[in-house]
Chain A
Amino acid sequence: MSVATLPAESTPASERVARAQAIARKRWLRTRWGLSAPALVIIGLFGILPLMIMVIYSFLEAGEYGGVVWNFSTDAYVSFLFQRDIFDGTLAFSPDYLIIYLRSIALAFATTVICLALGFPTAYFMATRPPHRRQMWVFLITIPFWSNLLVRTLAVMLIIRDEGLVNDLLIWLGIIDKPIVLLYTNFATMLGLLYSFLPFMVLPLYASLEKMDFRLVEAGFDLYATRGKVLRRIIIPLARPGIVAGCLLVFIPAIGAYVTPLILGGGKHLMIGPLIALQFGSSRNWPLGSAQALILMVGVMIALLFYVRSATGKAQALHG
């Protein structure tokens, strides 16, 4: 632990000193590895190994009652896009799964855009409060961030279902006489996603806006910029790292969302999350489920790569 055992930067006076330093350095390195080992072993064995098993499973045949049969097969990937005719075994293009993937992407994208549209003004407003009130705002955003997602989604469900508060209120006011069907629609899913992941957008945006140097805004006004221009030309470009991080933090969990579409979307408007779970449940097609999960994982990786590239690109633009 202690830094006193670290080898000094100066050149060793004698070979004995050098040897002592080499031993000290080895011991120091061993401590580093030893301290991180438990975390690495636990995550490696029960986090990464299962992911690898999932990759293997996606290339196996489905067992009749769930599980897998250990025969190599690319059926899972073929059936992602094609449907095999039961009688003559010919393949026909079937877009069913593709539609679910596209729906998930569309819903996640729309959620991200609306979260940004609502979250940016909120985060900006928070960042321009006096310091002690900023703390209170951050706290208010943090509470839903960490609160039980299932319970929060159920609360939305109770409000928008046919006998829910919204319909009761509208009927009582005489605006409608039959309940409007809100639950089990794409609208309900998106509302749920928006409600679930809005704090994920606000917090990173706030973090980057809070650090912003408002003297630059002042300089903008001195140069006769309007409020809108200052926002577009100074504030938004400066908040870009927060915007990218926030969009990613909303998009990634939204595209793989499970609880929200399960409770608010119903069976007709499936998203990727419940679809994958279905293959491991009543559909009993584990290889297909693994393949679907893997395809989602690849998508997420691409999004993350985009983030890394965008983050480094930004740094280069600043220095260049």
Chain B
Amino acid sequence: MVDGTMTANPDLPAVTATQGHRPRKALDLRYQPGFGTIAICCMVMLYAPILVLAIFSFNGGPFVTRWGGFGLNWYLHAFENEGFHDAAFTTLKISITATIVSTLVATAAALATTRTRRWPGQTASFIVVNLPLMVPEIITAVASLSFFALLASVAHINLGLGNLILVHTVFCIPFAYMPIRARLEDMDLTLEQAAADLYATPWKAFKRVTLPLLMPGISAGAALAFIVSFDDFTITQLVAGPGQTTLPLYIWDQTRRPLTPEINCMSTILLGVSVIFVTLSFLIARRRRT
């Protein structure tokens, strides 16, 4: 720990002067009054709406936020909903394709831009790969809309769902790139050099040494790319053509009608998917440190 011997460490059983008691706040040099309260308030603020949504998804009654007894009936309703199925299917088609392409492309780009002496174009590549992060979503959305409209009117090219897949791939690339790059920068080149010393070809060294070591970064990147694509609303809403309803778009359509607790269920399912993938990505990324 960075703090010296003066600071009482709250997670060690105090065997020093305080004799079995938790060290008093006044003795902890890092303590600032009120900060803990604010932190707890922030957590409550961040989680209260989500928890309310999740709790009311088990509402048996007909109102969205008035409790009518426990019931799974609205979940059954959601699972039987054809529109919800179609939307789920469309979403998966887009996000899985975008995830695979963006992860592959981001892996290659990360290999090119890390662990190397400077090469002309390195900085430029880095900026271009991260560019989608810097442009506000609404601008990406209308720019892509203009682009595909132009493509359709001038060249008569309409890729259908391909439009959405391409746009999603673009903004997924930087999200996949970040964890892969971080992982690569933690690895040094000694193992690859050892492989080369043992007469491995560059390709063999890559396949048998670099790739297995890089796998946690790639999986974490893929999980993030999937989530970003799966959750996207703004860009999808503007670029999507008729019949290309993804899950977020479907939920949005539901809010334009009289609300039923079904929307709580659908929203909770979407949140659940996010939580699962974030947790996976978090666990994978954490493992690299141990």
Residues of B within 8 A of A140 (CB): 43, 46-47
Residues of B within 8 A of A3 (CB): 189, 192-193, 196
Q: Are A158 and B251 in contact, with the CB atoms below 8 A? A: no
CA distance in complex: A123, B209 (Å): 38
Instruction: Select A165's contact among B52, B166, B227, B263, beta carbons within 8 Å.
Output: B52
Instruction: Select B113's contact among A5, A6, A36, A258, beta carbons within 8 Å.
Output: A36
Q: Are A128 and B42 in contact, with the CB atoms below 8 A? A: no
Instruction: Select A198's contact among B46, B233, B271, B286, beta carbons within 8 Å.
Output: B46
Residues of B within 8 A of A150 (CB): 231, 233, 248, 251-252
CA distance in complex: A202, B43 (Å): 11
Q: Are B65 and A1 in contact, with the CB atoms below 8 A? A: no
Instruction: Tell me, yes or no, whether A306 is within 8 Å of chain B by CB.
Output: no
Count of interface residues, chain B, beta-carbon cutoff 8 Å? 112
Residue of A nearest to B145 (CB): A280
In this complex, the interface size class of chain A, counting residues with CB under 8 Å from chain B, is 35 or more
Instruction: Label chain B's interface by main secondary structure.
Output: helix
Residues of B within 8 A of A290 (CB): 142, 146
Residues of A within 8 A of B215 (CB): none
Instruction: Select A1's contact among B30, B210, B227, B264, beta carbons within 8 Å.
Output: B210
Q: Are B170 and A155 in contact, with the CB atoms below 8 A? A: no
Residue of A nearest to B169 (CB): A42
Instruction: Tell me, yes or no, whether B109 is within 8 Å of chain A by CB.
Output: yes
Q: Are B53 and A256 in contact, with the CB atoms below 8 A? A: no
A42-B169, A149-B233 in contact; A217/B30 too (CB < 8 A)?
yes
Instruction: Tell me, yes or no, whether A133 is within 8 Å of chain B by CB.
Output: yes
CA distance in complex: A38, B48 (Å): 43
Q: Are A218 and B138 in contact, with the CB atoms below 8 A? A: no
Instruction: Label chain A's interface by main secondary structure.
Output: helix
Instruction: Tell me, yes or no, whether B205 is within 8 Å of chain A by CB.
Output: yes
Q: Are B121 and A256 in contact, with the CB atoms below 8 A? A: no
Q: Are A296 and B7 in contact, with the CB atoms below 8 A? A: no
Instruction: Tell me, yes or no, whether A47 is within 8 Å of chain B by CB.
Output: yes
Instruction: Tell me, yes or no, whether A286 is within 8 Å of chain B by CB.
Output: yes
CA distance in complex: A301, B177 (Å): 22
Question: Interface code A88-122, partner B: CB below 8 Å = 1, 0 otherwise?
Answer: 00000000000000000000000000000011011
Instruction: Tell me, yes or no, whether B2 is within 8 Å of chain A by CB.
Output: yes
A53-B147, A158-B53, A293-B139 in contact; A148/B248 too (CB < 8 A)?
yes
Residues of A within 8 A of B46 (CB): 140-141, 144, 195, 198-199
Question: Interface code A152-170, partner B: CB below 8 Å = 1, 0 otherwise?
Answer: 1011111100011100100
Residues of A within 8 A of B206 (CB): 1
Residue of B nearest to A51 (CB): B143
Residues of A within 8 A of B146 (CB): 50, 53-54, 57, 286, 290
Instruction: Select B39's contact among A1, A126, A168, A256, beta carbons within 8 Å.
Output: A126
Please report which residues of chain B, range 20-68, place their CB below 8 angstroms from some CB of chain A when the two chains form the complex: 29-36, 38-39, 41-43, 45-50, 52-53, 56, 63-66
Instruction: Tell me, yes or no, whether A214 is within 8 Å of chain B by CB.
Output: yes
A-B CB contact pairs (8 Å), 29 listed: A1-B192, A1-B202, A3-B196, A32-B121, A35-B111, A36-B108, A38-B104, A42-B169, A46-B170, A122-B39, A126-B39, A130-B10, A133-B11, A141-B46, A146-B277, A147-B274, A147-B275, A148-B267, A148-B270, A151-B53, A158-B64, A159-B52, A165-B65, A256-B139, A259-B233, A277-B238, A293-B142, A296-B138, A300-B135
